[in-house]
Amino acid sequence: MVALVGTVQARWPAPSNATGERCEHEQFVKEKGCVKDLNWERGGLMSALLDRSSPLYKAIYAQRTSCERINSQVQALGIERPKVHNQRSVANLNTLIYIIINLRALQRAGSINASLLARVRR
């Protein structure tokens, strides 16, 4: 039995729901019982069918996570929303932000390289 939840989603109940049997699955404890809601929207299908082992996906994912790390560093520095108003000041502030972030990255890379070099020398 398929009941439409919205215009592009479908709800698939477990076969035991029709016979009244109890299901031991954790989902049964919730109000809606043992059902699976499938998202038939274009984005939902793309997400479900995406080949996460492909080199292209891994490259884009690495780029995305690096951007998120930079954004979290900016937020941690408290400079997510600049308090300056003109474009030149914002550009200067952004330059300083990226200098700080790059210096931190170089510092981390240097310490990693130093520890690797120390292991090789042993």
Structure confidence at residue 53 (pLDDT): 93
pTM (predicted TM-score)? 0.45
Calpha distance 50→55 (Å, rounded): 12
> 90 pLDDT band (50/70/90 cuts)?
confident
How far is residue 99 from each of residues 13, 64, 79, 85, measured CA to CA in Å? 55, 20, 13, 21
Q: Residue 104 pLDDT more than 60?
A: yes
Q: Which amino acid is at 38?
A: L
